[in-house]
Amino acid sequence: MKILHIASDDKFIDHAYTVFERAYPSENEVWVLSKSSDLKFVKLNVDKIIPLSLIKRWAPKVYKECYQNYDLVVFHSFGEVISPEIFNIPKNIPTVWLGWGYDYYDLIGNPGDLLLPETKKVAVQSYKALIRSTIGKALRVAFKLAGISKSRKKAIERLSLFSPVLPNEYDMVLRSRNWKSFPEHTSWNYGTMEDHLIKGFEGEQVDGNAILVGNSASLTCNHKETFDFLVKTGVENRKVIAPLSYGDTVYGEKIAALGKKYFGLDFNPLKDFMPIQDYVATIKQCGYVIMNHKRQQAVGNIVIMLYLGARVFLREENPTFPFLKDLGVVISSVQELEKDISLLDTPLSIEEKERNKRLVSDYWSRESGIARTKALVDRALSLANKSSCKPRGNV
């Protein structure tokens, strides 16, 4: 059997490859779409680097013949750069979309609705994001008129299986459009506790009262509101850590400057990409975590901090909040924190820490990851002689 993985230059493919190789040794190949042959985030030895060019950004980059020798194709995210490849893959080869969040939240609603009021003001000032968005929209229209670009909706309708980050997001995407057909649901997660998330930190706990804010240089983190809240409520003489190593660099610089202005030497912006062991060693000093996203985001960070015993705050409208609640995890909401600032000085009890550690360890264990991978591949291969996806219609 030959499984082909198509990905962008992102750290997540390394995690995925490890799990797939444990389930199916020596049966996986990785192609990375990248502007540069010098990959920045992917550390494994990939089988092929596919160069990106502006003219082919919204068109397939690989010839149809190149796909014919594979039994399964796995897409790691399905955004506008990667998704056109589906049109050059023979329909008898099953295809899987492992969603990341960014690649389907534009389907669920207006991206602007994910930003809180103060962050929207920052977004208007982020000229790079605005220019990129404006030019991108113009180019998409031009390429579609020229017949170069295929519809992303049609691309999704060609898929066999879809795994969003959280199971409860599947119906959100399914209900978002009138689909002619829609991929079946499958459950899969990036990374395992033992191999990636807490490797080298087994059995350890948070050892400080620093506050972790957000997970990236992304507007959806709503940093401004979190910073304003901490200042307004008089939080001082306390470390505030904000990971900003990936995302929009212009926005990241704005947040780094704002953090320094508000918190001075107590603010630590993590601007440079770190190996995960160094990253966990840094954030382990955070006994408290504020993830102010309205959407699912930062699940890996959240899982790590729950394992280490931190008190984690998520917005109630974030799908991750009910998902973790349903698992039985002890978690707090940002809305609760806004009403009771003393929660930022109230660590979890020993029993609550142990409960969270056990629950996330079970769900994101290596054993569970391998089982999900085998179930995914078995189901995908069972669809090999059927149409690329089962007609579902909108519900």
- Residue 266 belongs to domain spanning: 193-364
Same domain for 90 and 219? no
- The rounded mean pLDDT for the chain is 91
Closest CA to 4 of 82, 103, 105: 82
Extract the tokens encoding 149. Answer: 């670009």
Domain count, the chain: 2
Q: Is residue 142 part of a domain?
A: no
Residue 394 or 342, more confident: 342
Same domain for 26 and 101? yes
Extract the tokens encoding 107. Answer: 């389907």
Q: Is residue 172 part of a domain?
A: yes
| Residues pairing with 313 in the sheet | 290, 332
Q: Where are the beta strands (DSSP E) in 271-384?
A: 286-291, 311-314, 332-333
Extract the tokens encoding 29. Answer: 């190949």
Q: What is the pLDDT of residue 140?
A: 52
pLDDT digits (tens, 9 = 90+) for 192-224: 999 999 999 999 999 999 999 999 999 999 999
Q: Does residue 392 carry a pLDDT above 70?
A: no
Same domain for 203 and 157? no
Q: Does residue 20 carry a pLDDT above 90?
A: yes
Q: Does residue 267 carry a pLDDT above 90?
A: yes
Same domain for 41 and 82? yes
Q: Is residue 62 part of a domain?
A: yes
Calculate what percentage of the chain has a pLDDT beyond 70: 91
Q: What is the pLDDT of residue 142?
A: 52
pTM: 0.89
**Residues across the chain:** 395
Q: What is the pLDDT of residue 53?
A: 81
Q: What is the pLDDT of residue 136?
A: 54
Q: Does residue 386 carry a pLDDT above 80?
A: no
Can you tell me the distance from the alpha carbon of 240 to that of 292, in angstroms, rounded to the nearest whole number? 14
Can you tell me the distance from the alpha carbon of 47 to that of 2, in angstroms, rounded to the nearest whole number? 13
